[in-house]
Structure 1
Protein backbone atom coordinates (compact mmCIF):
# COMPACT_ATOMS: atom_id res chain seq x y z
CA UNK A 1 0.00 0.00 0.00
CA UNK A 2 2.81 2.36 0.87
CA UNK A 3 4.58 1.55 -2.41
CA UNK A 4 1.37 2.04 -4.40
CA UNK A 5 0.76 5.34 -2.62
CA UNK A 6 4.29 6.54 -3.36
CA UNK A 7 4.02 5.56 -7.03
CA UNK A 8 0.64 7.28 -7.23
CA UNK A 9 2.02 10.50 -5.73
CA UNK A 10 4.98 10.49 -8.12
CA UNK A 11 2.68 9.82 -11.07
CA UNK A 12 0.36 12.63 -10.04
CA UNK A 13 3.34 14.94 -9.54
CA UNK A 14 4.66 14.10 -13.01
CA UNK A 15 1.23 14.76 -14.54
CA UNK A 16 1.04 18.10 -12.76
CA UNK A 17 4.51 19.08 -13.98
CA UNK A 18 3.60 18.15 -17.57
CA UNK A 19 0.33 20.08 -17.29
CA UNK A 20 2.13 23.19 -16.03
CA UNK A 21 4.74 22.90 -18.78
CA UNK A 22 2.09 22.64 -21.49
CA UNK A 23 0.14 25.50 -19.91
CA UNK A 24 3.28 27.63 -19.82
CA UNK A 25 4.08 26.93 -23.47
CA UNK A 26 0.46 27.61 -24.44
CA UNK A 27 0.46 30.91 -22.54
CA UNK A 28 3.67 31.95 -24.25
CA UNK A 29 2.21 31.02 -27.63
CA UNK A 30 -0.86 33.16 -27.05
CA UNK A 31 0.67 36.52 -27.98
CA UNK A 32 0.82 35.76 -31.70
CA UNK A 33 -2.65 34.18 -31.57
CA UNK A 34 -4.00 37.22 -29.71
CA UNK A 35 -2.47 39.62 -32.23
CA UNK A 36 -4.01 37.71 -35.12
CA UNK A 37 -7.36 37.41 -33.35
CA UNK A 38 -7.40 41.17 -32.71
CA UNK A 39 -6.21 41.81 -36.26
CA UNK A 40 -3.79 44.39 -34.87
CA UNK A 41 -0.15 44.58 -33.82
CA UNK A 42 0.31 47.40 -31.27
CA UNK A 43 3.76 49.03 -31.36
CA UNK A 44 5.24 51.53 -28.90
CA UNK A 45 7.56 54.19 -30.29
CA UNK A 46 8.70 57.82 -30.10
CA UNK A 47 7.98 60.00 -33.12
CA UNK A 48 11.14 62.07 -32.57
CA UNK A 49 13.70 59.70 -34.10
CA UNK A 50 14.15 60.56 -37.78
CA UNK A 51 14.66 58.88 -40.17
CA UNK A 52 13.06 55.92 -38.39
CA UNK A 53 10.03 57.67 -36.87
CA UNK A 54 8.90 61.29 -37.16
CA UNK A 55 5.89 63.39 -38.13
CA UNK A 56 5.41 65.51 -41.23
CA UNK A 57 2.29 67.69 -41.37
CA UNK A 58 0.81 65.61 -38.58
CA UNK A 59 1.41 62.27 -40.31
CA UNK A 60 3.83 59.55 -39.24
CA UNK A 61 6.73 59.11 -41.63
CA UNK A 62 9.96 57.14 -41.71
CA UNK A 63 11.42 53.68 -42.11
CA UNK A 64 9.49 52.22 -39.16
CA UNK A 65 6.06 53.05 -40.58
CA UNK A 66 6.86 51.50 -43.96
CA UNK A 67 8.71 48.47 -42.58
CA UNK A 68 6.01 47.61 -40.03
CA UNK A 69 3.40 48.05 -42.75
CA UNK A 70 5.16 45.26 -44.66
CA UNK A 71 5.50 43.09 -41.53
CA UNK A 72 1.82 43.61 -40.74
CA UNK A 73 0.93 42.35 -44.23
CA UNK A 74 3.12 39.29 -43.66
CA UNK A 75 1.15 38.55 -40.47
CA UNK A 76 -2.18 39.54 -41.95
CA UNK A 77 -2.83 42.28 -39.38
CA UNK A 78 -2.94 46.07 -39.16
CA UNK A 79 -0.28 47.96 -37.20
CA UNK A 80 -1.13 50.56 -34.59
CA UNK A 81 1.60 52.87 -33.25
CA UNK A 82 1.51 54.46 -29.80
CA UNK A 83 3.67 57.59 -29.53
CA UNK A 84 5.36 58.18 -26.15
CA UNK A 85 8.39 60.08 -24.80
CA UNK A 86 11.31 57.67 -25.09
CA UNK A 87 11.85 57.18 -21.31
CA UNK A 88 8.27 55.83 -21.14
CA UNK A 89 8.53 53.36 -24.02
CA UNK A 90 10.37 50.41 -22.44
CA UNK A 91 8.39 50.65 -19.16
CA UNK A 92 5.24 50.63 -21.30
CA UNK A 93 6.38 47.43 -22.99
CA UNK A 94 7.07 45.77 -19.64
CA UNK A 95 3.63 46.87 -18.43
CA UNK A 96 2.16 45.12 -21.53
CA UNK A 97 0.61 48.30 -22.93
CA UNK A 98 1.74 47.21 -26.40
CA UNK A 99 3.18 44.16 -28.16
CA UNK A 100 6.48 45.49 -29.51
CA UNK A 101 8.81 48.48 -29.41
CA UNK A 102 9.81 50.06 -32.70
CA UNK A 103 12.57 52.48 -31.69
CA UNK A 104 14.62 50.87 -33.11
CA UNK A 105 17.05 50.19 -30.26
CA UNK A 106 20.75 49.40 -30.23
CA UNK A 107 21.29 45.73 -29.43
CA UNK A 108 23.57 45.31 -26.39
CA UNK A 109 24.35 42.23 -24.34
CA UNK A 110 22.67 43.69 -21.25
CA UNK A 111 19.52 44.47 -23.23
CA UNK A 112 19.45 40.99 -24.76
CA UNK A 113 19.30 39.60 -21.24
CA UNK A 114 16.25 41.72 -20.49
CA UNK A 115 14.37 41.88 -23.82
CA UNK A 116 13.71 39.66 -26.83
CA UNK A 117 15.16 41.33 -29.94
CA UNK A 118 14.18 40.79 -33.54
CA UNK A 119 16.91 40.53 -36.17
CA UNK A 120 18.66 43.88 -36.86
CA UNK A 121 17.28 46.25 -39.47
CA UNK A 122 20.13 48.82 -39.68
CA UNK A 123 23.59 49.76 -38.46
CA UNK A 124 23.63 51.89 -35.31
CA UNK A 125 27.26 52.86 -34.68
CA UNK A 126 27.39 56.11 -32.67
CA UNK A 127 28.88 59.30 -34.14
CA UNK A 128 28.77 63.06 -33.57
CA UNK A 129 26.95 65.88 -35.34
CA UNK A 130 28.30 69.41 -34.96
CA UNK A 131 27.43 72.87 -36.28
CA UNK A 132 28.16 73.23 -39.98
CA UNK A 133 30.29 76.31 -39.43
CA UNK A 134 32.09 75.11 -36.28
CA UNK A 135 35.71 74.54 -37.35
CA UNK A 136 36.75 73.68 -33.79
CA UNK A 137 35.13 70.22 -34.13
CA UNK A 138 36.72 68.18 -36.91
CA UNK A 139 37.20 64.84 -35.15
CA UNK A 140 35.49 63.13 -32.18
CA UNK A 141 38.33 63.95 -29.76
CA UNK A 142 37.70 67.69 -30.27
CA UNK A 143 34.74 67.58 -27.84
CA UNK A 144 37.20 67.45 -24.90
CA UNK A 145 36.39 70.27 -22.48
CA UNK A 146 33.12 71.12 -24.25
CA UNK A 147 29.37 70.47 -23.83
CA UNK A 148 27.75 67.64 -25.81
CA UNK A 149 24.18 66.31 -25.86
CA UNK A 150 22.57 62.88 -26.19
CA UNK A 151 19.20 61.23 -25.59
CA UNK A 152 18.26 60.52 -21.98
CA UNK A 153 18.26 56.80 -21.19
CA UNK A 154 19.73 55.89 -24.59
CA UNK A 155 22.55 53.52 -25.48
CA UNK A 156 24.07 56.40 -27.46
CA UNK A 157 24.35 58.36 -24.19
CA UNK A 158 26.19 55.48 -22.52
CA UNK A 159 28.55 55.19 -25.47
CA UNK A 160 29.22 58.94 -25.28
CA UNK A 161 30.01 58.69 -21.56
CA UNK A 162 32.44 55.85 -22.19
CA UNK A 163 34.20 57.77 -24.96
CA UNK A 164 34.27 61.04 -22.99
CA UNK A 165 36.00 59.29 -20.09
CA UNK A 166 39.00 58.62 -22.37
CA UNK A 167 39.57 62.29 -23.22
CA UNK A 168 42.09 64.58 -21.45
CA UNK A 169 39.50 67.22 -20.48
CA UNK A 170 36.06 66.69 -18.93
CA UNK A 171 33.13 66.68 -21.33
CA UNK A 172 29.92 68.26 -20.04
CA UNK A 173 27.18 65.84 -21.08
CA UNK A 174 23.62 67.11 -21.30
CA UNK A 175 20.71 64.67 -21.50
CA UNK A 176 17.60 65.38 -23.58
CA UNK A 177 14.12 63.87 -23.47
CA UNK A 178 13.97 63.88 -27.28
CA UNK A 179 16.51 64.43 -30.03
CA UNK A 180 14.82 67.51 -31.46
CA UNK A 181 15.59 69.36 -28.21
CA UNK A 182 19.25 68.39 -28.55
CA UNK A 183 19.34 69.51 -32.18
CA UNK A 184 17.74 72.83 -31.21
CA UNK A 185 20.41 73.42 -28.56
CA UNK A 186 23.11 72.53 -31.08
CA UNK A 187 21.69 75.02 -33.59
CA UNK A 188 21.60 77.66 -30.81
CA UNK A 189 25.25 76.84 -29.93
CA UNK A 190 24.39 75.87 -26.35
CA UNK A 191 26.26 72.62 -27.03
CA UNK A 192 28.95 71.87 -29.63
CA UNK A 193 27.76 68.43 -30.73
CA UNK A 194 25.08 65.76 -30.42
CA UNK A 195 25.88 62.07 -30.12
CA UNK A 196 23.51 59.76 -31.95
CA UNK A 197 23.63 56.76 -34.25
CA UNK A 198 25.10 57.42 -37.68
CA UNK A 199 21.88 56.87 -39.69
CA UNK A 200 20.00 59.39 -37.53
CA UNK A 201 22.50 62.22 -37.70
CA UNK A 202 23.32 61.55 -41.36
CA UNK A 203 19.65 62.05 -42.17
CA UNK A 204 19.36 65.24 -40.09
CA UNK A 205 22.60 66.69 -41.48
CA UNK A 206 21.48 65.97 -45.05
CA UNK A 207 18.12 67.64 -44.41
CA UNK A 208 19.74 70.67 -42.73
CA UNK A 209 23.16 70.86 -44.38
CA UNK A 210 23.50 74.60 -43.73
CA UNK A 211 23.13 74.02 -39.99
CA UNK A 212 24.79 70.67 -39.26
CA UNK A 213 27.60 68.36 -40.31
CA UNK A 214 28.55 64.78 -39.41
CA UNK A 215 31.92 64.30 -37.73
CA UNK A 216 33.83 61.36 -39.15
CA UNK A 217 34.81 58.74 -38.19
CA UNK A 218 32.15 57.39 -35.79
CA UNK A 219 33.56 56.98 -32.29
CA UNK A 220 31.37 54.10 -31.13
CA UNK A 221 31.75 50.35 -31.46
CA UNK A 222 30.10 48.64 -34.44
CA UNK A 223 26.48 48.12 -33.44
CA UNK A 224 23.04 47.44 -34.86
CA UNK A 225 19.44 48.63 -34.51
CA UNK A 226 16.58 46.18 -33.92
CA UNK A 227 12.99 46.07 -32.68
CA UNK A 228 12.16 44.19 -29.49
CA UNK A 229 9.51 42.50 -27.37
CA UNK A 230 9.19 41.31 -23.79
CA UNK A 231 11.58 38.70 -22.47
CA UNK A 232 8.77 36.78 -20.78
CA UNK A 233 7.32 36.13 -24.24
CA UNK A 234 10.59 34.52 -25.37
CA UNK A 235 9.02 31.13 -26.03
CA UNK A 236 6.14 32.38 -28.15
CA UNK A 237 6.04 32.64 -31.91
CA UNK A 238 5.34 36.37 -32.39
CA UNK A 239 8.93 37.49 -32.81
CA UNK A 240 9.75 34.34 -34.77
CA UNK A 241 6.92 35.22 -37.17
CA UNK A 242 8.14 38.82 -37.46
CA UNK A 243 11.70 37.61 -38.07
CA UNK A 244 10.43 35.28 -40.80
CA UNK A 245 8.76 38.27 -42.44
CA UNK A 246 11.93 40.32 -42.12
CA UNK A 247 14.03 37.56 -43.70
CA UNK A 248 11.61 37.54 -46.65
CA UNK A 249 12.21 41.28 -46.97
CA UNK A 250 15.96 40.61 -46.96
CA UNK A 251 15.61 38.03 -49.71
CA UNK A 252 13.28 39.96 -52.03
CA UNK A 253 15.06 43.30 -51.66
CA UNK A 254 12.32 45.20 -49.82
CA UNK A 255 14.50 45.84 -46.76
CA UNK A 256 17.41 47.10 -48.88
CA UNK A 257 15.04 49.45 -50.73
CA UNK A 258 13.77 50.92 -47.45
CA UNK A 259 17.33 51.32 -46.16
CA UNK A 260 18.33 53.18 -49.31
CA UNK A 261 15.22 55.37 -49.19
CA UNK A 262 15.47 56.39 -45.52
CA UNK A 263 19.10 55.80 -44.53
CA UNK A 264 20.84 56.67 -47.79
CA UNK A 265 22.45 53.29 -48.39
CA UNK A 266 21.90 49.55 -48.18
CA UNK A 267 23.29 48.18 -44.90
CA UNK A 268 24.84 44.79 -44.21
CA UNK A 269 23.16 43.55 -41.02
CA UNK A 270 23.14 40.10 -39.36
CA UNK A 271 20.50 37.64 -40.56
CA UNK A 272 20.87 35.43 -37.48
CA UNK A 273 21.50 35.82 -33.76
CA UNK A 274 24.82 37.51 -32.98
CA UNK A 275 26.97 38.63 -30.06
CA UNK A 276 26.87 42.44 -29.61
CA UNK A 277 30.15 44.36 -29.42
CA UNK A 278 29.11 45.83 -26.08
Structure 2
Protein backbone atom coordinates (compact mmCIF):
# COMPACT_ATOMS: atom_id res chain seq x y z
CA UNK A 1 0.00 0.00 0.00
CA UNK A 2 2.77 2.34 0.98
CA UNK A 3 4.50 1.85 -2.38
CA UNK A 4 1.22 2.32 -4.26
CA UNK A 5 0.56 5.60 -2.42
CA UNK A 6 4.09 6.74 -3.18
CA UNK A 7 3.64 5.81 -6.87
CA UNK A 8 0.32 7.69 -7.10
CA UNK A 9 1.90 10.65 -5.34
CA UNK A 10 4.71 10.67 -7.90
CA UNK A 11 2.21 10.48 -10.75
CA UNK A 12 0.29 13.47 -9.38
CA UNK A 13 3.53 15.42 -8.91
CA UNK A 14 4.65 14.66 -12.48
CA UNK A 15 1.23 15.48 -13.99
CA UNK A 16 1.20 18.80 -12.11
CA UNK A 17 4.73 19.59 -13.26
CA UNK A 18 4.05 18.87 -16.94
CA UNK A 19 1.85 21.94 -17.58
CA UNK A 20 4.40 24.02 -15.69
CA UNK A 21 7.17 22.63 -17.91
CA UNK A 22 5.10 23.29 -21.04
CA UNK A 23 4.48 26.86 -19.89
CA UNK A 24 8.14 27.34 -19.05
CA UNK A 25 9.09 26.17 -22.54
CA UNK A 26 6.47 28.25 -24.35
CA UNK A 27 7.22 31.39 -22.32
CA UNK A 28 10.20 31.99 -24.60
CA UNK A 29 8.24 31.35 -27.79
CA UNK A 30 5.79 33.61 -29.65
CA UNK A 31 3.49 31.63 -31.97
CA UNK A 32 3.06 33.84 -35.03
CA UNK A 33 0.73 33.07 -37.92
CA UNK A 34 0.98 34.44 -41.47
CA UNK A 35 -0.16 33.86 -45.05
CA UNK A 36 3.10 33.81 -47.02
CA UNK A 37 1.62 34.69 -50.40
CA UNK A 38 2.02 38.47 -50.29
CA UNK A 39 5.43 39.74 -51.47
CA UNK A 40 7.27 41.86 -50.41
CA UNK A 41 5.74 41.39 -46.93
CA UNK A 42 5.63 37.59 -46.64
CA UNK A 43 6.37 34.95 -49.25
CA UNK A 44 8.45 31.85 -49.91
CA UNK A 45 11.68 32.12 -51.88
CA UNK A 46 13.80 29.02 -52.55
CA UNK A 47 11.66 27.13 -50.04
CA UNK A 48 12.31 29.68 -47.28
CA UNK A 49 9.77 32.04 -45.71
CA UNK A 50 10.96 35.62 -46.07
CA UNK A 51 9.83 39.24 -46.55
CA UNK A 52 9.49 42.49 -44.63
CA UNK A 53 6.97 41.25 -42.02
CA UNK A 54 8.93 38.03 -41.45
CA UNK A 55 12.27 39.76 -40.91
CA UNK A 56 10.74 42.57 -38.84
CA UNK A 57 8.96 40.10 -36.51
CA UNK A 58 12.19 38.07 -36.19
CA UNK A 59 14.05 41.32 -35.32
CA UNK A 60 11.44 42.19 -32.67
CA UNK A 61 11.70 38.66 -31.28
CA UNK A 62 15.47 39.04 -30.87
CA UNK A 63 15.03 42.39 -29.11
CA UNK A 64 12.49 40.74 -26.75
CA UNK A 65 14.65 37.63 -26.24
CA UNK A 66 11.92 35.40 -27.72
CA UNK A 67 11.90 32.74 -30.43
CA UNK A 68 9.34 33.16 -33.21
CA UNK A 69 7.45 29.99 -34.15
CA UNK A 70 5.81 30.43 -37.57
CA UNK A 71 2.67 28.84 -38.98
CA UNK A 72 1.18 29.41 -42.44
CA UNK A 73 -2.58 29.49 -43.09
CA UNK A 74 -4.97 31.35 -45.44
CA UNK A 75 -5.39 35.06 -44.65
CA UNK A 76 -9.08 34.68 -43.72
CA UNK A 77 -8.07 32.31 -40.87
CA UNK A 78 -5.57 34.64 -39.19
CA UNK A 79 -7.95 36.54 -36.89
CA UNK A 80 -10.07 33.43 -36.02
CA UNK A 81 -6.76 31.67 -35.18
CA UNK A 82 -5.96 34.38 -32.62
CA UNK A 83 -9.50 34.38 -31.18
CA UNK A 84 -9.33 30.59 -30.67
CA UNK A 85 -5.87 31.03 -29.02
CA UNK A 86 -4.13 28.72 -31.51
CA UNK A 87 -1.64 31.54 -32.11
CA UNK A 88 -0.36 34.53 -30.13
CA UNK A 89 0.12 37.06 -32.93
CA UNK A 90 -0.38 37.50 -36.68
CA UNK A 91 2.12 39.21 -39.02
CA UNK A 92 0.64 39.37 -42.49
CA UNK A 93 0.28 42.93 -43.85
CA UNK A 94 -2.84 43.42 -41.69
CA UNK A 95 -4.50 46.83 -41.88
CA UNK A 96 -5.52 48.44 -38.60
CA UNK A 97 -9.34 48.73 -38.55
CA UNK A 98 -11.96 49.42 -35.87
CA UNK A 99 -13.69 46.18 -36.84
CA UNK A 100 -10.56 44.13 -36.14
CA UNK A 101 -9.89 46.02 -32.89
CA UNK A 102 -13.16 44.60 -31.51
CA UNK A 103 -11.81 41.04 -31.54
CA UNK A 104 -7.99 41.37 -31.40
CA UNK A 105 -5.42 43.87 -30.20
CA UNK A 106 -3.30 45.68 -32.79
CA UNK A 107 0.18 47.04 -32.28
CA UNK A 108 1.27 50.55 -33.13
CA UNK A 109 1.42 51.02 -36.92
CA UNK A 110 4.67 49.71 -38.37
CA UNK A 111 4.22 50.86 -41.99
CA UNK A 112 1.87 53.13 -43.95
CA UNK A 113 0.16 51.41 -46.85
CA UNK A 114 -3.02 51.82 -48.81
CA UNK A 115 -5.34 50.14 -51.27
CA UNK A 116 -4.70 50.55 -54.99
CA UNK A 117 -6.19 49.24 -58.22
CA UNK A 118 -4.37 46.91 -60.58
CA UNK A 119 -5.66 46.84 -64.17
CA UNK A 120 -4.48 45.68 -67.60
CA UNK A 121 -1.75 47.92 -68.99
CA UNK A 122 -3.90 48.54 -72.07
CA UNK A 123 -6.98 49.57 -70.02
CA UNK A 124 -7.64 53.32 -70.02
CA UNK A 125 -11.22 53.06 -68.70
CA UNK A 126 -10.20 52.91 -65.00
CA UNK A 127 -8.30 55.97 -63.74
CA UNK A 128 -9.86 56.47 -60.29
CA UNK A 129 -11.88 54.47 -57.77
CA UNK A 130 -15.27 55.71 -59.04
CA UNK A 131 -14.49 54.19 -62.44
CA UNK A 132 -14.82 50.71 -60.89
CA UNK A 133 -18.58 51.14 -60.40
CA UNK A 134 -20.49 48.46 -62.29
CA UNK A 135 -17.30 46.55 -63.06
CA UNK A 136 -15.94 43.21 -61.79
CA UNK A 137 -13.24 43.69 -59.17
CA UNK A 138 -11.13 40.88 -57.68
CA UNK A 139 -10.38 40.95 -53.94
CA UNK A 140 -8.83 38.47 -51.50
CA UNK A 141 -11.19 36.96 -48.90
CA UNK A 142 -10.65 38.29 -45.35
CA UNK A 143 -8.75 41.42 -46.41
CA UNK A 144 -9.65 45.07 -45.87
CA UNK A 145 -10.40 45.39 -49.60
CA UNK A 146 -13.57 43.27 -49.27
CA UNK A 147 -15.31 45.40 -46.63
CA UNK A 148 -13.97 48.65 -48.04
CA UNK A 149 -15.58 47.98 -51.40
CA UNK A 150 -18.76 46.70 -49.70
CA UNK A 151 -19.07 49.89 -47.65
CA UNK A 152 -17.98 52.53 -50.15
CA UNK A 153 -18.58 50.97 -53.57
CA UNK A 154 -21.63 48.68 -53.32
CA UNK A 155 -22.20 49.02 -57.09
CA UNK A 156 -19.01 47.03 -57.77
CA UNK A 157 -19.32 43.33 -58.59
CA UNK A 158 -16.80 41.78 -56.19
CA UNK A 159 -15.03 38.59 -57.27
CA UNK A 160 -13.68 37.10 -54.03
CA UNK A 161 -10.69 34.74 -54.24
CA UNK A 162 -8.65 32.80 -51.68
CA UNK A 163 -5.15 33.83 -52.73
CA UNK A 164 -3.49 37.12 -53.61
CA UNK A 165 -2.07 35.64 -56.85
CA UNK A 166 -5.57 34.69 -58.11
CA UNK A 167 -6.68 38.35 -58.14
CA UNK A 168 -3.99 39.31 -60.64
CA UNK A 169 -4.60 36.19 -62.74
CA UNK A 170 -8.28 37.09 -63.13
CA UNK A 171 -7.38 40.58 -64.37
CA UNK A 172 -4.82 39.16 -66.81
CA UNK A 173 -7.30 36.72 -68.37
CA UNK A 174 -10.11 39.32 -68.42
CA UNK A 175 -12.39 37.67 -65.84
CA UNK A 176 -12.06 40.80 -63.67
CA UNK A 177 -11.64 44.44 -64.73
CA UNK A 178 -9.43 45.30 -61.76
CA UNK A 179 -7.94 43.92 -58.53
CA UNK A 180 -7.81 45.94 -55.31
CA UNK A 181 -4.96 45.20 -52.90
CA UNK A 182 -2.16 46.80 -50.81
CA UNK A 183 0.12 49.20 -52.68
CA UNK A 184 3.56 47.65 -51.90
CA UNK A 185 2.40 44.17 -52.97
CA UNK A 186 0.75 45.53 -56.12
CA UNK A 187 3.90 47.42 -57.17
CA UNK A 188 6.02 44.36 -56.46
CA UNK A 189 3.78 42.16 -58.59
CA UNK A 190 3.55 44.38 -61.68
CA UNK A 191 7.37 44.54 -61.83
CA UNK A 192 7.29 41.02 -63.28
CA UNK A 193 3.95 41.37 -65.11
CA UNK A 194 4.21 44.02 -67.83
CA UNK A 195 0.63 43.19 -68.89
CA UNK A 196 -0.61 44.84 -65.66
CA UNK A 197 -0.25 48.33 -64.16
CA UNK A 198 -1.01 50.03 -60.84
CA UNK A 199 -3.25 53.10 -60.92
CA UNK A 200 -1.30 55.84 -59.15
CA UNK A 201 -4.33 57.40 -57.42
CA UNK A 202 -4.92 55.30 -54.27
CA UNK A 203 -8.32 53.90 -53.35
CA UNK A 204 -7.57 54.51 -49.64
CA UNK A 205 -4.70 55.18 -47.24
CA UNK A 206 -4.19 52.62 -44.45
CA UNK A 207 -1.74 51.61 -41.72
CA UNK A 208 -0.28 48.14 -41.16
CA UNK A 209 -0.11 46.62 -37.66
CA UNK A 210 0.56 43.23 -36.06
CA UNK A 211 -2.52 41.54 -34.57
CA UNK A 212 -2.32 40.04 -31.06
CA UNK A 213 -4.68 37.93 -28.93
CA UNK A 214 -6.94 40.07 -26.73
CA UNK A 215 -5.90 38.16 -23.59
CA UNK A 216 -2.18 38.95 -24.11
CA UNK A 217 -1.96 42.76 -23.61
CA UNK A 218 1.60 42.34 -22.28
CA UNK A 219 2.66 40.94 -25.68
CA UNK A 220 1.19 43.95 -27.50
CA UNK A 221 3.09 46.30 -25.18
CA UNK A 222 6.32 44.30 -25.59
CA UNK A 223 6.00 44.33 -29.41
CA UNK A 224 5.39 48.10 -29.37
CA UNK A 225 8.46 48.64 -27.17
CA UNK A 226 10.59 46.41 -29.43
CA UNK A 227 9.30 48.21 -32.53
CA UNK A 228 10.31 51.55 -30.99
CA UNK A 229 13.75 50.15 -30.16
CA UNK A 230 14.21 48.81 -33.72
CA UNK A 231 13.50 52.31 -35.05
CA UNK A 232 16.10 53.80 -32.72
CA UNK A 233 18.85 51.23 -33.38
CA UNK A 234 18.52 51.41 -37.19
CA UNK A 235 17.38 47.81 -37.75
CA UNK A 236 13.88 48.94 -38.80
CA UNK A 237 15.20 51.39 -41.43
CA UNK A 238 17.50 48.71 -42.80
CA UNK A 239 14.52 46.40 -43.42
CA UNK A 240 12.41 49.16 -45.00
CA UNK A 241 15.29 49.93 -47.35
CA UNK A 242 15.79 46.24 -48.17
CA UNK A 243 12.15 45.31 -48.80
CA UNK A 244 9.99 48.38 -49.38
CA UNK A 245 11.88 51.42 -50.63
CA UNK A 246 12.08 50.19 -54.22
CA UNK A 247 8.43 49.05 -54.35
CA UNK A 248 7.05 52.05 -52.45
CA UNK A 249 8.27 54.61 -54.97
Structure 1 segments unaligned to the other structure (5+ residues) = 1-33, 268-278
Asked if 1 retains the 8 angstrom alpha-carbon contact of 2:187 and 2:247, the reply is: no
Cα deviation 1:108-148 (Å, max 9, x = unaligned):
12222321111111113211111122222233222222110
SS at match of 2:198: strand
Q: CA deviation at 1:231?
A: 1.3
Matched, 1:263 2:244: yes
Q: CA deviation at 1:71?
A: 0.9
Query: Which residue in 2 is equivalent to 1:192?
Result: 177
Alignment of 1:33-182 (within 5 A): 34=23, 38-165=27-154, 170-182=155-167
Matched, 1:230 2:219: no
With over 3 angstroms needed to count, the CA separation of the structure-2 counterparts of 1:36 and 1:213, relative to structure 1, is farther
Q: CA deviation at 1:38?
A: 4.5
With over 3 angstroms needed to count, the CA separation of the structure-2 counterparts of 1:183 and 1:257, relative to structure 1, is same
Structure with more of its chain in strand, by fraction: 2
SS at match of 1:124: strand
Q: CA deviation at 1:265?
A: 6.1
With over 3 angstroms needed to count, the CA separation of the structure-2 counterparts of 1:91 and 1:189, relative to structure 1, is same
Scaled by the length of structure 2, the TM-score of the pair is 0.83
Please say which of residues 225-234 and 130-139 is displaced more in the overlay: 130-139
CA distance in 2, matches of 1:35, 1:258: 32
**Count of paired positions:** 227
Cα deviation 1:75-104 (Å, max 9, x = unaligned):
222212100011222111111111111113
Q: CA deviation at 1:178?
A: 1.4
Query: Which residue in 2 is equivalent to 1:4?
Result: none
Query: Which residue in 2 is equivalent to 1:204?
Result: 189
Q: CA deviation at 1:257?
A: 2.5
Asked if 2 retains the 8 angstrom alpha-carbon contact of 1:63 and 1:262, the reply is: yes
Asked if 2 retains the 8 angstrom alpha-carbon contact of 1:36 and 1:77, the reply is: no
Asked if 2 retains the 8 angstrom alpha-carbon contact of 1:116 and 1:228, the reply is: yes
Q: Give the superposed CA RMSD.
A: 2.2
Scaled by the length of structure 1, the TM-score of the pair is 0.75
Alignment of 1:212-223 (within 5 A): 212-220=196-204, 222-223=205-206
Cα deviation 1:2-44 (Å, max 9, x = unaligned):
xxxxxxxxxxxxxxxxxxxxxxxxxxxxxxxx58754322101
Cα deviation 1:212-271 (Å, max 9, x = unaligned):
211121122x3201001111223xx2221111110011122322222232222699xxxx
Pick aligned residue for 1:240 from 221, 226, 247: 221
CA distance in 1, matches of 2:25, 2:91: 19
With over 3 angstroms needed to count, the CA separation of the structure-2 counterparts of 1:149 and 1:81, relative to structure 1, is same
